[in-house]
Amino acid sequence: MDKAFINVLYLISSILFIVGLKLLSHPKTAVRGNFTGAVGMFLAVVGVFLEYGKIGQEDIIWIASGILLGTVIGTYIALKVEMTGMPQLVALLNGFGGLASFLVGGNSLMEILETGKNTEFLSNYQFTISTAATGIIGAVTFTGSVIAFGKLQGLVSEKSVRYFGDQIVKILLFAVSLYLGYLNVTQPTVIAWYWYVVIAGSILGILLVMPIGGADMPVVIALLNSYSGIAASATGFVLGNNVLIIAGSLVGASGIILTQIMCKAMNRSLPNVLFGGLGGATTTTDSGDIYSGKTKSTSAEEVAMLLDMAQRVVIVPGYGMAVAQAQHAVRDLYNQLTDRNIEVEFAIHPVAGRMPGHMNVLLAEADIPYDKMKEMDEINPTFDTVDVVIINGANDVVNPLAKTDPGSPIAGMPILDVEKAKTIIVIKRSLSPGFAGVPNPLFIQDNCLMYFQDGKKATQEIVTALKDT
């Protein structure tokens, strides 16, 4: 096949990736962005088949088997995985990207050594350095993502796992990984060096993510996504495939940008997230002493009366809403209120949930209008004009300690200024702290009422009470 035609195909594919990424930046166009990226990937795959020319019957069987297996798994995931499980799924897919990268890198090196073809690549530093980078970054991405998946799924402790000297151990292991990578570059004919690189990178990935607590999962997922893109880009250099280099670079760059956005939203630096261990923080304050006798409970009927008299209502979704799968009940509440000509908006904190955009995805799934989802910076100045705020399963993102207690693990983190509203309704199963491990003094404010109930059931009860009002 004409090389120029293949390059044009790759160019079109790359343009579609860029356009798709742009469309993914807004919930309203995200579906089109996803489809655009999928078309780009299809053209890229077609280009790869054309570039490598004639494919043997045995190769066709393997390729077809892989496509069939991937289709079956992908279809099953699309049908079975709940939206609440999306953070875990994203973490796992990041890991698979890293796994594919270091396996392809190792296979390329082994193929040269076993067949004796293209041996000139072994003296090409672009090839050897890219191979070593693929091994390290791909392995870190794979095992780090598996640990992140385990934390989100509850298979591994969500708390920060620390031990004496852990930072020194990670630095030493990183240095060992780089040294093994150097040996792999200078002695590419010794295939064992590559797999030693992978082993060291795999251990490093585990040690990097284990100390990170659940509160930092949005940042970790964005960062691992970036790692998977960088690993894919390095694999592109190994294979000499331009479209893979471009696609990997786009994923890597967008992941880094998203990571910075998440860190800014938490008012923390990336090194602090990686080495600070928020989520494993402990507090010396007894939550029972703070809350004892000071919280005011409410009922569905009382909440319905407050809402019936309100003109403006803001709903703050959190991870508790996701766990309860309450998004459709929240939509019913939204419909009830708007039918009464009550203005309803949703306040979205950048790190609410367990991955970037988690709340937006859940609300979009429930057909909440996109223009009703307000970012923190947009809605914060208006909370003093809100009649009722309903906090459904959120905790740390509305905790005033972020502004009042310099010693708090969440000190300095921008929060939603819900305390300025006339009335605050907190839907929560108990007074247990969020992932940051600190109590929330918002719960004992004079204008705050606690509705102790599962997020979905509580919302349904409020909807029922509203119908009777």
The side-by-side arrangement of strands in the sheet containing 448-452 is: 373-375, 343-348, 312-317, 388-392, 423-428, 448-452
Between strands 373-375 and 312-317, the pairing is unpaired
Does residue 391 contact residue 318 with C-beta atoms inside 8 Å?
A: yes
Q: Is 116 helix (H, G, I), strand (E, B) or coil?
A: coil
Measured distance CA(198)–CA(219) in Å, rounded:
24
Q: How many CA atoms lie within 13 A of 70 on its CB side?
A: 8
* Residue type at position 198: V
Q: How many residues does the chain have?
A: 469
Distance CA 300, CA 427 (A): 11
CA pair distance 333, 344, nearest whole angstrom = 10
Q: How many CA atoms lie within 13 A of 259 on its CB side?
A: 20
Give the SS3 label for residue 392.
strand
Structure tokens at 44: 């890229």
- Residue-wise over 141-169: b if at least 16 C-beta within 10 A, else e? bbbbbbbbbbbbeeebebbbbeeeeeeee
> 89: Cβ–Cβ under 8 A, 6 or more apart, which residues?
77, 81
Exposed / middle / buried, residue 457 (Cβ in 10 Å: 0-12, 13-18, 19+):
middle
Tell me the CA end-to-end span of the chain in Å, nearest whole number.
72
Nearest to 190 by CA among 128, 98, 274: 128
Structure tokens given for 434 = 């969020």
CB 421 within 8 A of CB 346: no
Verify whether residue 396 is a known catalytic residue: yes
> Which of the residues 289, 367, 396, 417 is marked catalytic?
396
3-state secondary structure of 399: coil
Catalytic site positions? 396
